[in-house]
Structure 1
Amino acid sequence: MSTALADAVALGTLAVLLAAATLHLPWRREAAVAVGATVVVLATGLIGSNQLEDTIRALLPVVIFLVTILVVSDVCARAGLFAAAARLVGTASRGRPTRLLTGVFLLAALVTTVLSLDATVVLLTPIVVGAAATLGTSDRPGAFACLRMANSASLLLPVSNLTNLLALPYLDLDFVGFAARMAPVLLVVLVVEYVGLRLLFRRELAGEPDHPGRVEGPPLPVFPVVVVGLMLAGFAVVSRWDIAPAWVSSAAAVVLVVWAAARGLVGPRDIARAAHPSFALLVLALGVVVAAVATGFLGDLVAQLVPVGTSFLALLALAALATALAALLTNLS
């Protein structure tokens, strides 16, 4: 196969994978697309068996973390953790839109930081929307706050975003060092985001609730909160010995699943759905395909565009290039 044709096939395969991720296909189709994409890329010769093995070895701990943290988040949701947190925020707001936005903003930032952005988008946002409806206020400010925090608040910890986990081995930082380095950045981003939301929804925040009600919810489940807290501490401890966070999240997932199963909160099918293994395959396939694309003309082009040096302008140009690649080709690029 010619180089040009191989590049075209790899880019086409990447487009198919991105479409599959966007369309949220049934799990069988999603898994089939992931496996098929990997086979097609291998056939182009852009990536060999050794590079395939290296790519999977690098991605596997991150994917295992993704699977297990999804299970942790799902069990927390079934135990009522998010509903209880939304109840506390709703009660503290007393039906005032601005106070509700502030509470949701902080809650979404916390959930994203500890349980990753997926938990904020999939599990917290619907509860926030329901709480706003109960209080008789617009659900748009809270929903947008969750959306923005699912992205912006994932800066602080390596486990808040899969991209952070992928980058961590190259940064010569442990868990605590990464958090310390990113804390000032996160603080600035949170201030900008909050001010932006206040301005964007200033009219809705100035209104009064139509029929303020009381946000109902379960009491805060103590056991899941303790497990999540210990998990977070575990991430910091094991990073000193270069142990992958996946080991800690796996242990937390097992403990929570056993606890929840004993109370009839989850069954085997619930756990399988929460883990979303077909999506894990899709992430692995994306990594393989992006690695193949990087060996072709696009990789050469990006290498030429990468600025030399560590000056402010060079770093700014590098950030702009990374932003464009992440937006167009996924954050794995």
Structure 2
Amino acid sequence: MALQWPGRQLARWLAWWLLGVLVVVTGVLPPDDFAALAWRVGPILGFVASITVVVELATSAGLFDVVGDRIAAWGRHTGWLIWLLVVGAATVSTAFLSLDTTAVVLTPIVVLLARKASMSPLPFALTTVWLANTASVLLPVSNVTNLLAWHRWPVHPIGFAGAMWAPFVVGVALPAALVWLLYRRRLAHRYSPPPRHVAADKPLLVTSGTVVAALLPALVSGVPVWIPSTAAAVLLTAAFAVRRPGTLRPALIPWRAVSIAAVLFIVVQAAAAHGLTTAVLTLAGTGNGYPELLRLAGVAALAANVVNNLPAYLALEPAAGTPIRLGALLIGVNLGAIVTPWASLAVLLWHERVASLGVRMSWRRYSLVGLGLTVVLVPAAVGALWLAHGLPG
């Protein structure tokens, strides 16, 4: 199959890789540091690529359309109930299948579901983009930043969830509460159930559902997450090769996201090797008390909204010397990444999806509302983390 690339996209992709190559070959990043970085992030990028293939193929099989049908049926003709079900679906999707799945796959499903039910799509779209970020602290697989942290703090995924459950609850409850306050009148709506989706290929739908159902517990089993995600991607690829080979194409692999993440890792690692770590330690402080944790989370949230949450995490990781400080850092770069469009890749992907569906929300309004939420959410989540760990102030 020939690989077809739009010229502008190819140019951007090559530019990112050229930057990474230049950093390496010019010696800005020492070879030993590059080898250590590749050993650390290679499996993470492999997981990102394979889980994306799984989600894309499951979407093509109609699995997430079935989820939308179930939400519509369980909503009992009530707007606020169908919205609560979307909150639950976005939370589960983010926690187990990553924030990008919620932003890219679930968003168009719930937007179209809202329109079929003659409801405003805005509260549904805002719910998915916020929860894609704010519900992404529970498990290692929820966010690439979590996978980076998991490498530094290799506990069982259940132990990871046990440490992060309190900020996770805050990260779901407060954004949902704000959406309700902003759009409660639009959600007070009765609807007729839309027509159910008819699967074009039922065997593929059943296969996809079975593979995803088996994948979810495997991702929290303690096995390196790239192993079950790769196995799931191989199984679904084989099924589509038999039933619908035309679906298989190079674009299933998220080349842009992987290349951008790889280069960001290289650039930040090079900066760390040339003095960034010292500056970061001074800025982020030390200590496990609430003020010190809030300071770290606040700096992390600011950095995420200025440059992006991936380089923000890598730059600030040396300041997270204890598990609770690592948790505060994740709160900042995950829950706090909802103000600027570039704070996380999921936000940009979300905006592409909703814009293509004709949903209009200006970046100015998005940023102002996100800022208002962040200044409440981050301190509350840090407080929940601190109280859950029972540490003195």
Question: TM-score range with shorter-chain normalisation?
Answer: 0.7 to 0.9
Q: Show structure 2 runs of 5+ residues with no match.
A: 1-5, 312-393
2:39 corresponds in structure 1 to: 57
- Is the counterpart of residue 295 in structure 1 residue 273 in structure 2? yes
> CA 1:43/1:224 → structure 2, altered by over 3 Å: closer, same or farther?
closer
- The code of the aligned residue for 1:174 comes to H
What residue number does 1:329 align with?
A: 307
The alignment partner of 1:332 has SS state of helix
Deviation at 1:260, TM superposition (A): 2.5
Q: Is the 8 A contact 2:131 2:171 kept in 1?
A: no
* Counterpart-to-counterpart distance in 2, 1:331 and 1:116: 15
Question: Is the 2:53–2:233 Cα contact (8 Å) retained in structure 1?
Answer: yes
**Counterpart Cα distance in 2 of 1:84 and 1:178:** 31
State the TM-score, normalizing by the size of structure 2. 0.71
Q: Deviations over 1:98-129 (max 9, x none)?
A: 11211111111111122111111111111111
Deviation, structure 1 residue 180: 2.1
Is the partner of 2:126 in helix, strand or coil?
Answer: helix
8 Å contact from structure 1 (residues 111, 119) kept in 2: yes
Cα deviations across residues 242-263 of structure 1 (Å, max 9, x unaligned)?
Answer: x521111100110111123322
The CA distance in 2 between the partners of 1:217 and 1:287, in whole Å, is 41
**Equivalent pair of 1:93/1:100 in contact (CA under 8 Å):** yes
1:50 is displaced (CA, Å) by 1.9
Q: Which residue of 1 aligns with 2:208?
A: 224
- Within the candidate set 176, 181, 206, 1:194 is matched to 176
Contact 1:28/1:278 (CA < 8 Å) preserved in 2?
no
Tell which deviates more after alignment, 298-307 or 151-160: 298-307
1:174 to partner: Cα distance: 1.4
Paired residues, what number? 302
Q: Indicate yes or no: 2:123 matched with 1:141.
A: yes
Q: Deviation string for 1:175-224 (max 9, x for gaps)?
A: 12112222232223222222111101122123455xx4524213694332
Q: Which residue of 1 aligns with 2:389?
A: none
Out of 228, 239, 245, the residue aligned to residue 225 of structure 2 is 245
Q: 1:159 aligns with which of 141, 145, 148?
A: 141
| Matched residue type, 1:281 | S
Among residues 37, 54, 57, which one is paired with 2:19 in the alignment? 37
Structure 1 alignment gaps of length 5 or more:
1-23
More divergent stretch after superposition (145-154 vs 34-43): 34-43
CA distance in 1, matches of 2:59, 2:310: 28
Does the 8 A contact of 1:117 with 1:154 survive in 2?
Answer: yes
CA distance in 2, matches of 1:181, 1:163: 16
Name the CA shift for 1:25/1:69 in 2 (closer, same or farther; >3 Å). farther
Residue pair 2:40, 2:151 contacting (<8 A) in 1 also: no
% identical aligned pairs: 29
Amino acid of the structure 2 residue aligned with 1:289: V
Moved >4 Å (runs of 4+): 24-27
1:262-304 CA-to-partner distances (Å, cap 9, x unmatched) read 22165431xx211123431221111001112233454432121
Question: Normalising by structure 1, what TM-score?
Answer: 0.83
Name the structure 1 match of 2:260: 282
1:19-63 Cα distance to aligned partner (Å, 9 max, x none): xxxxx9854223311221113324664322221222222111100
- Shift of the 285–295 alpha-carbon distance from structure 1 to 2, 3 Å rule, reads same
Alignment match, 1:320: 298
Matched, 1:72 2:54: yes
Match of 2:112 in 1: 130
